[in-house]
Amino acid sequence: MGLIIQKFGGTSLGDAEKIHRAARRAIRAKLEGNEVVVVVSAMGGSTDTLVDLAYQITDRPNRREMDQLLATGEQVSIALMAMSIHHAGHDAISLTGGQIGLRTDRTFGRARIREITQRGRIISLLKDGSIVIAAGFQGVDAGANITTLGRGGSDTTAVALAASLGADVCEIYTDVDGVYSTDPRIVPEARKLDYIFYDEMLELSSLGAQVMHSRSIELGKNYGVRIHVRSSYTDAKGTDIVKEWSDFDQVIVRGAALKRNLARVELTNVPHQPGIAGEVFTRVAERNVIVDDIIQVVHEGGNTADISFTIEAPEIEAAQALCDEMAVEMPGMTPEIKPHRAKVSVVGVGMRTHTGVASRMFESLHQADVNIENISTSEIVISCVIREADGERALRAVHAAFELEPS
């Protein structure tokens, strides 16, 4: 007998039949002798509908009220899932984020989990024979405000519950049968992976692979949670997300990802003096704009420099306001924001010990006639900022260059 967390994504809960199918899976695990906690997302597409509704009311929805609104999607699914299990003649109880005591900080829209206080309550419900259905994506802060964990955040609720309850496995049921070498919707030749290391999955998720919420992988790694990503439609074995090992694994590049909806901020002719970069990025941070890929180039003569960085498209407005302010304070400095950018990346722990990955990636982009605007590297990642219109072609090119297709 074990304790299993089963998380069902929105695509697996699209209609009543799909909810019944997910419920049958949970019941089967229970009948096999396990204790089962089910974590559900909102029904497919419903979070997007709620976001649209908010923007029909105002183009600047209040962040607290946005979370209050978005959390309703998951509340619908927990109740329907519990009803489905009851309908099949089994015990189940639905609990919201607040009812499982999922405490977060107060960063509405991307809150971080602090603790799960109602562990005892969940355990006693399981011991009484119920399947516990928990709402993904939502929590409460210390002031009892409802918060959400960021789009795709139900994965993180599931892994946090698995860590807190000491579950044997956290199963992520979705509309693909595992983690692929890249998004199979864009590259049909993508290959399903039997396993992937936490660090690789973490990078792929942060770099655009929607299949897992990146914070869920951080948590999984820190608490050693066994995560298994698999299809909600078949019984095929999926992908294990596991701790790294060194023997036998000869893979250099495990996967590739595409992140869209980026913009590049370029500040040309910034005074080259101590403290300027500090000032620019303090002000960026004050506006809660998350930046990436910072580059500074000092001009000949050494009096001025160019600073550029990447932001996500929804932050363009905040970045523009900041640029306008700085242009007034730094005469001679010209800011420009280039929208419609994307980032294509390759990831693999094998890069630590192998050379030639960057050149192969750049050559494949050249062959695909993709212009690279910016390059960044870390120990296990190489990323290129490109025009968004080139994104899918670039992803297909690098995926083919590293022979990530099935052999």
- Binding residues for ligand ADP, rule: CB under 6 A, are 9-12, 41, 152, 174-176, 179-180, 182-183, 185, 204, 209-211, 255
Question: Strand pairing partners for 257?
Answer: 345
Q: Which is nearer to ligand ASP, 154 or 308 (CB)?
A: 154
What does residue 152 show for φ and ψ, rounded to 5 degrees? 80, 10
- Angle (CA) 169-171-176 rounded to 5° is 150
Q: Which is nearer to ligand ASP, 228 or 264 (CB)?
A: 228
Sign of CA dihedral 45, 148, 313, 221: negative
Alpha carbon distance 309, 291 (integer Å): 6
User: Which residues neighbour 275 within 8 Å (Cβ) at sequence distance 6 or greater?
Assistant: none
Q: Which does 238 bind (CB under 5 to 8 A by kind): ligand ADP, ligand ASP, Mg ion, none?
A: none
Q: How far is the CB of 48 from ligand ASP (least distance, A)?
A: 7
User: Which is nearest to 211 in space by CA: 243, 148, 258?
Assistant: 258
Q: Which does 47 bind (CB under 5 to 8 A by kind): ligand ASP, ligand ADP, Mg ion, none?
A: ligand ASP
Q: Which does 175 bind (CB under 5 to 8 A by kind): ligand ASP, Mg ion, ligand ADP, none?
A: ligand ADP
Which amino acid would we find at residue 174? T
Q: Which is nearer to ligand ASP, 212 or 382 (CB)?
A: 212
Q: Which residues bind ligand ASP (CB under 6 A)?
A: 9-10, 41-42, 47, 73, 136-137, 151-154
Q: How far is the CB of 119 from ligand ADP (least distance, A)?
A: 25
Q: Which does 153 bind (CB under 5 to 8 A by kind): ligand ASP, Mg ion, ligand ADP, none?
A: ligand ASP
Q: Which is nearer to ligand ASP, 210 or 320 (CB)?
A: 210
Stretches 147-155, 237-245, 248-256, 300-308: which one binds Mg ion (CB under 5 A)?
Answer: 147-155
Alpha carbon distance 352, 343 (integer Å): 21
Which amino acid would we find at residue 219? L
Q: How far is the CB of 7 from ligand ADP (least distance, A)?
A: 8
Q: Which does 73 bind (CB under 5 to 8 A by kind): ligand ASP, ligand ADP, Mg ion, none?
A: ligand ASP
User: Which is nearest to 100 in space by CA: 120, 83, 85?
Assistant: 120
Cα 373–chain centre separation: 24
Q: Which residue is nearest to ligand ADP (CB)?
A: 9
Candidates 5, 7, 8, 9: give the one binding Mg ion (CB under 5 A).
Answer: 9
Q: How far is the CB of 403 from ligand ADP (least distance, A)?
A: 16
Q: Find the farthest-apart pair of alpha carbons in the chain and give their distance in angstroms, rounded.
A: 79
Q: Which does 335 bind (CB under 5 to 8 A by kind): Mg ion, ligand ADP, ligand ASP, none?
A: none
Q: Is 152 in the site for Mg ion (CB under 5 A)?
A: yes
Q: What tokens does 398 get?
A: 């690098």
Answer for the pair 245, 321: CB distance below 8 angstroms, yes or no: no
Q: How far is the CB of 15 from ligand ADP (least distance, A)?
A: 14
Task: Tell me 165's DSSP state.
Answer: H
User: Which residues neighbour 234 within 8 Å (Cβ) at sequence distance 6 or greater?
Assistant: 177
Q: How far is the CB of 136 from Mg ion (least distance, A)?
A: 9
What does residue 381 show for φ and ψ, rounded to 5 degrees? -140, 140
